[in-house]
Structure 1
């Protein structure tokens, strides 16, 4: 086998080995202080959540962040990192485990940034969602522009999955194995996705098999945007999942990204959609929730916009809580300071639950109160019964 040189990013590892800095006055005390406060400013999402229900966020870094006028958020912004540890029981690398960052050259891996996130999660008693193994986007040039035979490409993917999943075996709760493999009409991305285009649809099942062999304990997911409702795209995943399960392929979950916008109505069949995958025996999850909006000229959302945004967040969380094995709920970043939305959606923003100064929006409190209600009412049994009556 070709020797693989694994390089670690010393800067990232060293920075994250330092103690967390003191938080600003509006932040909660360290998780390790063990002190309870009556003030709402010390409320934490992870504490409000029912037992066994994970509330997560993306860990900012890589991707569009490299083009901004600030240093890497995760390694340099200590107040941000402190809130990351306090508020959430699950973390997802926003970009740090994608191919272009973790496998920048054919014979070289860069594990430093991903290692640092996994180590951070362990110290803060968090689980990790691995993101992602097979995708059509954010692949390195050496892969997309290389002149490989089908056998070589298959070997490259198998080696990558085996190496990356194997490195974090026992440390990753869920993996997004196949990401965004269908278009809006429910057709496989046979042109955009190098793996499907060159190796055929059967490579999807192989990716799940290889990931399962590398870490038998990790839950393996399909993940996509635009599949919140029952529609052509989610129907395609439903049919494919049924087929793979019949073949004995280790598919364990289906997740909706839920990048929502106030321009459009809330996906009202979200709960119904999650429930049909649940009936197949799969776990389900909301993995990348944010709710963007068209901002007024002054860049500040109106009270009406913030109220509607909070309603969308609350509805998404309630839908997940109402489905038996929807146990993981992740927002795609918790502060507008590092949100991807303004970079990719001109004129839209304010998509997260906190401002750039970490002030909590109504959406934060909507999540908090919904989690508290679910926990108080018994979640797994009584809370769901009550929801179905309504």
Structure 2
């Protein structure tokens, strides 16, 4: 059969190509030249933020494919140990602290030039049995908690970009702004355990950023108010020497363990972030992001929605000046905590179980690339940072990507199957090659 070719001019270099998707019928953004050279962290920084990071842990690093991705500082500029720094992992027997696994993550981050976020000091879960099974007086548990925080923070002094000092101190109910009564620290010590934790951490490492971390903050105004109350509690703390202001808190982490199709709107997420920044003047971040499916395996429509949901979260962070970055709670479905915690649910990460980029990854990448284009625009009013915030706030960064993420993932899959060709084979047998020229992007179609 004779080869038939046609070329279509696509307008401006980074404008979307009007090119129907076999799955969604929506336009396709057909530039993917920077996929390997510009990772999510590099693009996030180019958009004016500080980091795009991931959780990992020692046992995952035995997987070479996983290791190759997590060790790429362009993809992930911040690393956080998922479990290795939790009290129950560090001190399984009273008085015997083992930093081996956590030190390995810290060393990897330092070697790769990545920020190291430390996690977590005071949390009522994953505690050693000697803490949970003992009968404590207020004075004894206070002394034990102080010893733990001082020992661990001192060990990692100058290594941690930030510490999750206290996590999940509030009730798990989204209809409450009260402190959790199930916490052993709340039961025995009372609310003062929170400012004391920040006080001891700030003494042990005056340079690390100190965060409060919790879930459901993006969907519960009541719980968000509870965090504001915690910030005031810390700031009003009177130290044992009678000084006020010695307990430091620098930021709030929104864990954001979300589900596909149930993510708050862009407007709502922006409002949630600004609640913290306006009422507390603290920085915020999405600290444990994953967006899981209610049932797996997910179909194409669900994967496209997942991409849309990830783009919404990223756009919200870009829209708020004091949102400093995003950390995903694991980047691959292979090692996600979701399937163990919620059987039948999952596939909430940016990479699949085979370490391949999913539609969600392409959606995030394209939003961040659009942010970079907006930042570079000339003859526009406002600073580059203001232009990005405005474009993110009004949904512009997502509008030009909607419906394309699944196609980009499929294009990559076909490229791999076709031996590295940059072409995408359509359902009717045609192929398309994106070709960048001095006049724009041309797509060469052939049968």
Aligned CA distance change for structure 1 residues 267 and 212 (closer, same or farther; 3 Å): farther
Higher relative contact order (CA 8 A, sep 6+): 2
Aligned CA distance change for structure 1 residues 112 and 267 (closer, same or farther; 3 Å): farther
Aligned CA distance change for structure 1 residues 237 and 369 (closer, same or farther; 3 Å): same
Q: Aligned match of 2:83 in 82, 91, 95?
A: 95
Aligned to 1:286: 286
Aligned to 2:103: 115
- C-alpha displacement of 1:381: 2.6
Q: Structure 1 CA distance, aligned partners of 2:37 and 2:372? A: 18
C-alpha offsets along residues 350-381 of structure 1, whole Å, 9 cap, x if unaligned?
Answer: 11011111111111011112222223323633
- C-alpha displacement of 1:147: 2.8
Aligned to 2:178: 187
Aligned CA distance change for structure 1 residues 149 and 239 (closer, same or farther; 3 Å): closer
SS at match of 1:55: strand
- C-alpha displacement of 1:214: 0.5
Aligned to 2:387: 382
Q: Structure 1 CA distance, aligned partners of 2:359 and 2:332? A: 13
C-alpha offsets along residues 19-57 of structure 1, whole Å, 9 cap, x if unaligned?
Answer: xxxxxxxxxxxxxxxxxx946355411222225520001
Q: Aligned match of 2:213 in 223, 227, 240?
A: 223
Aligned CA distance change for structure 1 residues 320 and 388 (closer, same or farther; 3 Å): closer
- C-alpha displacement of 1:230: 4.6
Aligned to 2:187: 197
- C-alpha displacement of 1:233: 1.0
SS at match of 1:50: helix
- C-alpha displacement of 1:101: 0.3
Aligned to 1:20: none
> Within 5 Å, which residues of 2 pair with 1:39-118?
40-51=35-46, 52-60=49-57, 72-74=59-61, 76-86=62-72, 87-118=75-106
Q: Aligned match of 1:324 in 321, 325, 337?
A: 321
Aligned to 1:271: 270
Aligned to 1:125: 113
Q: Structure 2 CA distance, aligned partners of 1:246 and 1:155? A: 21
SS at match of 1:381: helix
Q: Structure 2 CA distance, aligned partners of 1:174 and 1:370? A: 26
Q: Structure 2 CA distance, aligned partners of 1:139 and 1:246? A: 28
1:250 aligns with 2:248: yes
| TM-score normalised by L of structure 1 | 0.83
User: Does the 8 Å CA contact 1:105/1:140 hold for their aligned counterparts?
Assistant: yes
User: Does the 8 Å CA contact 1:60/1:338 hold for their aligned counterparts?
Assistant: no
Q: Structure 1 CA distance, aligned partners of 2:349 and 2:112? A: 22
Q: Structure 1 CA distance, aligned partners of 2:192 and 2:177? A: 17
Q: Structure 2: 5+ residue runs without aligned partners?
A: 1-31, 238-244, 376-383, 396-447
C-alpha offsets along residues 63-93 of structure 1, whole Å, 9 cap, x if unaligned?
Answer: xxxxxxxxx212x112211100112000111
SS at match of 1:110: coil
Aligned to 1:311: 308
Aligned to 1:19: none
Bigger Cα displacement from structure 2, 245-254 vs 331-340: 245-254
- C-alpha displacement of 1:389: 5.0
> Within 5 Å, which residues of 2 pair with 1:342-353?
342-353=339-350
Q: Structure 2 CA distance, aligned partners of 1:218 and 1:208? A: 11
Bigger Cα displacement from structure 2, 264-273 vs 144-153: 264-273
Q: Structure 2 CA distance, aligned partners of 1:113 and 1:174? A: 18
Q: Aligned match of 1:166 in 154, 162, 185?
A: 154
SS at match of 1:386: helix
User: Does the 8 Å CA contact 2:88/2:126 hold for their aligned counterparts?
Assistant: yes
1:145 aligns with 2:142: no
Q: Structure 1: 5+ residue runs without aligned partners?
A: 1-36, 62-71
Bigger Cα displacement from structure 2, 376-385 vs 311-320: 376-385
User: Does the 8 Å CA contact 2:198/2:234 hold for their aligned counterparts?
Assistant: no
User: Does the 8 Å CA contact 1:50/1:371 hold for their aligned counterparts?
Assistant: no
